[in-house]
Amino acid sequence: MTLWPCLPARCGFGGDPSLGGRPLPAGRGEEGSVPTLPRPILALPGPQATLYGELIQASLHRLEAGSRALLWVRPLLLREGSQVWKLRATPDLLWPAAGFVPAYAEEILPLLEQARDPGPHEPSARQRLQGFLRQLWQG
């Protein structure tokens, strides 16, 4: 059984989309177990695709004066037009927080049903993620 991270419903979500460097609230674990943290799903829209990822951690301090805040994100899905690709096999990202927005349950749950792994004669999930990030970085 796969457990998906916390998916906020659009109504009632009062969280700060910029996260502001605040720690995430502790979740409720089963009795006697270690509490788990809810991990919000974020979207990073690009010119031709959108990356959906699980927020692992937001940077709490800046590495040097004037640098941008970074997010540690675990890629989940990449939506390119009508195609949705699974990215679970790709490495985690450290990426500037600017541009990330909350992804809501109504948005991502239908994508989970459509998502598929790339076929043997298609670019791999890693190649698709690298191409998406290259477009964002250059644009």
Confidence of residue 82 (pLDDT cuts 50, 70, 90): very high
Which long-range contacts (C-beta less than 8 Å, at least 24 apart) are formed by 86-92?
86/115, 86/116, 86/117, 86/125, 87/51, 87/53, 87/125, 87/128, 87/129, 88/125, 89/125, 89/126, 90/125, 90/126, 90/129, 91/126, 92/56
Structural domains counted in the chain: 1
Average pLDDT over residues 22-50: 69
Q: Which of 36-40, 47-51, 61-65 has the lowest mean pLDDT?
A: 61-65
Task: Tell me, yes or no, whether 109 lies in a domain.
Answer: yes
Q: What is the pLDDT of residue 59?
A: 81
Average pLDDT over residues 123-136: 95
For residue 2, pLDDT over 50 is answered with no
Q: What is the pLDDT of residue 1?
A: 37
Q: 54: domain range?
A: 41-59+67-138
